[in-house]
Amino acid sequence: MYAMKLITICCIILINLCIFPVALSELYSYVTCGSVIKLLNNHLKVRLHSHEVKYGSGSGQQSVTAIEDHDDVNSHWVIKGKSGKVCNRGEPISCGSTIRFEHLATKKNLHSHHFPSPLSNNQEVSAFGENGEGDTGDHWIVTCSSDYWERSGLVRFKHADTDMWMGVPGSTYGRPISGQKEVAALHYSDSSCYWKASEGVFIKPSELPLPSIAHVHTEL
């Protein structure tokens, strides 16, 4: 009798070891509040980027570009909630929700407004604010096809104030940022407006529901 109980417990443990990591990986498959990520443009395979270089026209604010280099630290962005709204660390980002992106190195938010972009004459995308605080021009609506923003899925970002779509039209800058691509907001969504989460640090939920199959019956 004791041997049978021991075998049963061992079987449950083996099932847990096999299935529990899979269940946890599903919980971790979403982009979450507080995560620090790079955004990869699916069309041109370039990463959203910023730096302490200001536009020479338009708003004169800090420029936002896209680059091929996957190691550049200036391509990290912190995911935050809408201004004045709590976005708990580790909370999955819902499709349709409004968020902000804070540039990790300069503490300015990804921003857009009614200024023409320098190369393609679309709408300018810049980095704006101080210490992570700006205005409603920092709000972006997450558009995706599931309930939450999946780390492996494609996503689009619609500017809340102007209803424009962030994309990479394909134009390339000369000096002083030679080879970097223009990032702009477009009137319509095309293939250049699809992004996916790339390298980064993804914050896990603070409380994880345990899968029912992983429950060990203490009465054995």
Question: Using one digit for the tens of pLDDT, what is the confidence trace for 30-55?
Answer: 999 999 999 999 999 999 999 999 99
Exposure class string for 114-126: b at 16+ Cβ within 10 A, else e: ebebbebebbbbb
Q: What is the pTM of this model?
A: 0.82
Share of the chain above pLDDT 70, in %: 81
Q: What is the pLDDT of residue 23?
A: 39
Residue 212 — pLDDT band, cuts 50, 70, 90?
Answer: very low
Q: Are 156 and 189 in contact (CB under 8 A)?
A: yes
Contacts of 192 (CB under 8 A, 6+ apart): 41, 43, 44, 167, 168, 169, 170, 186
Q: What is the pLDDT of residue 17?
A: 38
SS3 percent helix, strand, coil of the chain, rounded to 5, is 15, 35, 45
Task: Report whether pLDDT(124) > 90.
Answer: yes
In 3-state terms, what secondary structure has residue 32? Answer: strand
Phi, psi of 9, rounded to the nearest 5 degrees? -65, -40
Task: Report whether pLDDT(209) > 90.
Answer: no
What amino acid occupies position 156? Answer: R
Q: Are 21 and 29 in contact (CB under 8 A)?
A: no
Lowest mean pLDDT among 18-32, 72-86, 157-171, 177-191: 18-32
The structure tokens listed for 74 are: 């200036």
Residue 86 CA to its chain's centroid (Å): 17
Task: Report whether pLDDT(201) > 90.
Answer: yes
Q: Are 25 and 18 in contact (CB under 8 A)?
A: no
Question: Using one digit for the tens of pLDDT, what is the confidence trace for 77-108?
Answer: 999 999 988 899 999 999 999 999 999 999 99
The stretch 168-189 carries a mean pLDDT of 95
Q: Are 54 and 63 in contact (CB under 8 A)?
A: yes
Q: What is the pLDDT of residue 26?
A: 52
Task: Report whether pLDDT(12) > 80.
Answer: no
Task: Report whether pLDDT(220) > 60.
Answer: no
Contacts of 172 (CB under 8 A, 6+ apart): 119, 179, 180, 181, 182
| Mean model confidence pLDDT for the chain | 85
Question: Using one digit for the tens of pLDDT, what is the confidence trace for 60-81?
Answer: 999 999 999 999 999 999 999 9
Q: What is the pLDDT of residue 5?
A: 46
The stretch 108-123 carries a mean pLDDT of 97
Measured from the Cβ of residue 14, the count of other Cβ atoms closer than 10 Å reads: 10
